[in-house]
Chain A
Amino acid sequence: MTFWKQALEIARVDMVVERRAGETLRIVLPFSVVALMVFPLALGLQLNIVSVVGIGVFWALGILFGMQVALRQSATDTAERRDLQALAGVDPAARFAGRVLSGGVLMAGFLGLMLLATAILFDPNVPRGGWPVLLVSTVLVAIGLTELGTLAGEVTTGLRARTPLASLIVAPLALPLVIGASQAVQALERDTSILPWVLLLIASDLALAVAGVALARPLEEATR
C-alpha cells in the first residue's frame, strides 16, 4: 500500500472515531467558548476594551484549547495498536501525515468556530480587509498547531504525563505561529505588507511537516 493510501486510511478512521467519540465538538469546543465568554465578563463589560483585546484573546485561547484538539484521546494509539500497525506494514511517516490530515481538518473547524464566537462575543476591532487575512492565518495556524501537536504526541508516546508534557513542548514552539498570525492582522492596521508574516506561517508549517515526516521512523524506533 502506498504512503498516501495509508495516510488517508488513518485520517479516515480518525474522523470516524472523532465523530463517534465527539471529543472536539462536544467537549473541547463548548469549554473553549465558555472560556471566551468569561473574558468580557471579567473586563466589566467595558465594550471598547473587549473589542481591542478580542483577537488577542482568540489566539491565546485558540492555541491553548487547540493543543487539546491536537492531543485528543481519539488520536492516541495504545502501544498494542501501534504494534499491530507496525505488523500491518504502516509507515510511521504515513501515520504522521494521516494524523495531520484529520487533525488539521478538525483544528481548522475548531478555530473557525472559535473565531465566529469571538466575532459575536467581542465585536473585535479588525481593520478593513482583516477578516480574509484572519481566516487564512487561522487555517495556517491550524495546520502548524496540528503538526506540532502530532509531533509532540509522538515524542511523548507511552509516558504517563503525556498530555501536560506534550503541551509544554508545543507552547514555546507555537510562538512563530502566534506571532505570524497576530502580526499579519497588525500589518494591515499599520498599512504595511502582510506577506512576511504569511510567509513565516507557511515556512513554519512546511518546516514542521518535514520534521514530522523525517523524525517519524526514528521516534518510533526510539520507543521500542
Chain B
Amino acid sequence: METIAHLSNTGVTLGGRPVLAGVDLTVIAGDCIGVAGPNGSGKTTLVRTLATLQSIESGAAKVLGVDVRDRGLSGVRRQIGLIGHQPSLIPELTLAENLEHLARLAGSGTDRVGNALEVVGLGGASDRRVEACSFGMRRRVEIAHILLVKPRLLLLDEAASGLDEAAGELVAAMLRSVRGRGGAAVMVSHDRAHLGAHCETIFQLESGRLVAAV
C-alpha cells in the first residue's frame, strides 16, 4: 500500500517552546487516523505539519513522497485538503464566489461549484454572503471545497465541532470518498468519541508526543 505521509522523529518548536517532539506517524492509503488530545497538545501543529504548512525543527517528514523541507511543494499541496478549526472564507464574498475564487487560484474550472454547493445542501444560498451565514453553513462550504479539490490527503482539525447531524453525515461521506479514491485522512479532535465514529486507529497526543495508540 502506498504511503501517503510519514513523520519520523519529527519535532516542531514554536516561539522557543517544543510543540511536537519525536512524533512518528505513518499514514497509508485508505487510512483514517484519529488523533485525540487536550487543548494545547499540538494537534493543530501536527495537522499543519502534514499539510506541509509548518516548518519542522528536527526529524523528517514526507507527504505524498515529497520532503516537507523541499521548496517546490505546490504540486503536493494541491493534493491536500484541509478544514481547520477556524473557517477560512472571505466574509464579504458570497458562498459561490469564495469557491470560485479558490478554484481560479488553483487553476481549475468553476463549473462544478454550483453542484458542490447543492451536494452540501447550500444550493439555494449560493449567492448569500459568508458574513450572513452561520458557522455550520461556513463549514459546509469548506466541505464543498474539499469535494472540488478531491484531495489525496484530507486533514480535519476539529472540523466536526458545531455541525448538526446532517453535516456530520457529510463529513462521513467526504471521508469515505477520499479513502475510496485511494487517499487517506487524518482527523484531530479533543473529542475521542467523535474520532471513534470515523477512524479505525486513534492516537493520543499529549504535550507534543504521540503517547499511545488506542
A residues apposed to B, CB below 8 Å:
1, 5-6, 9-10, 13, 16-17, 20-21, 74, 78, 80-81, 83-91, 221, 224
Contact = CB atoms under 8 A, between A and B. Distances in A.
A128 to B, nearest CB: 45
Contact of B88 (A9, A20, A83): A83
Looking at A20, A81, A83, the one whose CB has the most chain B CB atoms below 10 A away is: A83
B9 interface: no
Nearest to B79: A87
A6 B105 contact: yes
A90 B182 CA distance: 26
A80 B86 contact: yes
Given A13-B101, A80-B87, A1 B51 contact: no
A6 B106 CA distance: 8
B97 A16 contact: yes
Nearest to B129: A20
A1 B53 contact: no
Contacts of A80: 84, 86-88
- Interface centre among B78, B86, B88, by most chain A C-beta atoms within 10 angstroms, is B88
Contacts of A88: 77-78, 102, 105-106
Contacts of A16: 92-93, 97
Chain B interface extent, by class: 20 to 34
Nearest to B71: A217
Given A17-B90, A20-B92, A83-B48, A1 B84 contact: no
Q: Which of A16, A81, A89 has the most CB of B within 10 A?
A: A89
Interface of B: 48, 51, 53-55, 74-75, 77-78, 80-82, 84, 86-90, 92-93, 97, 101-102, 104-107, 129
Contacts of B75: 89
B92 A84 contact: no
A13 B53 CA distance: 24
A224 B55 contact: yes
Contact of A9 (B55, B77, B89, B104): B104
A90 B105 contact: yes
Given A74-B92, A88-B105, 6 more contacts: A1-B106, A78-B88, A83-B48, A83-B82, A86-B77, A89-B106
Q: Which 5 A-B pairs have the closest CB atoms?
A: A1-B107, A80-B88, A89-B74, A88-B106, A88-B105
A81 B90 contact: yes
Nearest to B55: A224
A83 B106 contact: no
Contacts of A13: 90, 93, 97, 101
A177 B107 CA distance: 37
A192 B105 CA distance: 48
